[in-house]
Amino acid sequence: MDTQSLERPAVQSEAYDLSTYSVPERSTPYDVADDVFGIKTLFVNVYFVGKPGIGESWKLVDAGFMGYTDAIKQRAEQLYGQANPPKAILLTHGHADHVGTLHNLLKLWGNVPVYAHALERPFLTGLSSYPPPDPAIGGGGMSLMSWVFPIGPEDFSEVLVDIPASGRIDELPEWRVIHTPGHAPGHVSLFRDKDRTLLAGDAFVTTNQNSISSVINQTEEVHGPPAYFTCDWVAAEDSVRKLALLNPMKVGTGHGVSMHGLDLQLELGRLVSKFRERSIPSEGRYVKEAAQTDENGIISMPEPTSYTVARAIGIGIVVGLIWGLYRSVRS
C-alpha cells in the first residue's frame, strides 16, 4: 500500500480566535465534542463518533481494555439506541489495551469493518507480535509492570480493512486519518478540520501513562506516548510535531481526560519544545535504535537492555496490587 499521503505532514491550520471559543459541555471528562464521546476502560479510552439519537449513524474509535464489552455496549445504547451497531470501527493501533474487547464486540455487532493502517496489519492478522515492551525505561510503576502486557498477535483478518492512501474513510467523511508512527508502526490519529477536533490515540496523551499514580488519579499533563511500548522515538517526536501543526482546539487521547482550547494549545506547545526532556527516556531498548518493521511484521530489533531489577520490582507491584484487591474484596 502506498502510504505517502498518510505520512505527508499536515499544513498548519489558520489562526483561531480563542476569544470566541468555549469549552463544550461534557457529561464525562472524556467527552470531546457534542458528537464525540469517550469512556475510560480501566486505563485506556474509547470514543463514540456521531450525533446522539436513537438510530443515528455512529462509529467507534478503538476497542479498549478486555472485560469492558458491556460498558462499551451500554454507552453505545445510551447514545444511539439498541440494535444499532457502528458503521465502522477504526483502530488508532493494535496494542492489546486498544483491541481488548474487539472480538466480543464483533460477536455482538456482526462483521463491522475494522479500519487500520497497513503497517498494523501483521499484528492484527496473526502474522507477527509487536516489538516487546521495555520495562527498563523507568518512569513509574506502569513501565515496570509492562513486561506482563500481551504483545499479540491478534487475528481480525475477516473484517480488517486498510485505511486508504488518501486518509479518507467513507464512514467518516468529515475526518482525515493521519499516519503518526512511533508508538506503533502504523499508529494513526484522526482530525476534523471544521472544528479542529483531534483524536490522537497514543501519539501523545494527557496523563503520564508511565506512572501508576498519574494513571489512577488521571493527573492532567500533556505527555509523550507511553514510553514502555514506544519502539521508534524519532518517529514519535515527528508525529507530535505533525499534530501540533494542526493547532487542535479539542483533543481526546488514548490515555487521560480530554482537553480543550488554550490549555491544550499551551501544553502541546510545551511538549513539542521539550519533547526529548519530558518524554524520551534516558536509556532503554529503543532509545538509540528503533525497531524495524514492515507490512509483514518485525524485521529487526535492538538487543534488549537488562531489566532484571525492573522485572523484580514489577513483580512486587503486581503482587501488591493483587493482594490489595483481595483484601478489598474480603473486607
For residue 14, give its domain range: 4-306
Number of Cβ atoms within 10 Å of the Cβ of 155:
13
Per-residue pLDDT of the chain (331 residues; tens, 9 = 90+): 434 334 433 334 444 454 444 445 568 899 999 999 999 999 999 999 999 999 999 999 999 999 999 999 999 999 999 999 999 999 999 999 999 999 999 999 999 999 999 999 999 999 999 999 998 887 788 888 888 888 989 999 999 999 999 999 999 999 999 999 999 999 999 999 999 999 999 999 999 999 999 999 999 999 999 999 999 999 999 999 999 999 999 999 999 999 999 999 999 999 999 999 999 999 899 999 999 999 999 999 999 875 554 454 445 444 454 555 445 545 5
**CATH number of the domain to which 224 belongs:** 3.60.15.10
**Looking at residue 21, what is its pLDDT?**
45
Is residue 104 one of the residues assigned to a domain? Answer: yes
pTM comes to 0.86
Q: Which residues contact 119 (CB under 8 A, 6 or more apart)?
A: 3, 181, 185, 186, 293, 294, 295
Residue 328: inside a domain: no
Question: Does 315 fall in a domain?
Answer: no
Identify the pLDDT of residue 329. Answer: 47
Q: Computed over its alpha carbons, how large is the radius of gyration of the chain? A: 19
Dist. CA 317–CA 322, nearest whole Å: 9
Please report whether residue 320 resides in a domain: no
- Domain assignment present for residue 324? The answer is no
Burial of 33 (0-12, 13-18, 19+ CB in 10 A): middle
Q: Is residue 323 part of a domain?
A: no
- The C-alpha atoms of residue 289 and residue 286 are separated, in whole angstroms, by 5
C-alpha neighbours within 13 Å on the C-beta side of residue 263: 12
The answer to whether residue 226 is domain-embedded is yes
321 belongs to a structural domain: no
Distance CA 8, CA 195 (A): 21
Q: What is the number of structural domains in the chain?
A: 1
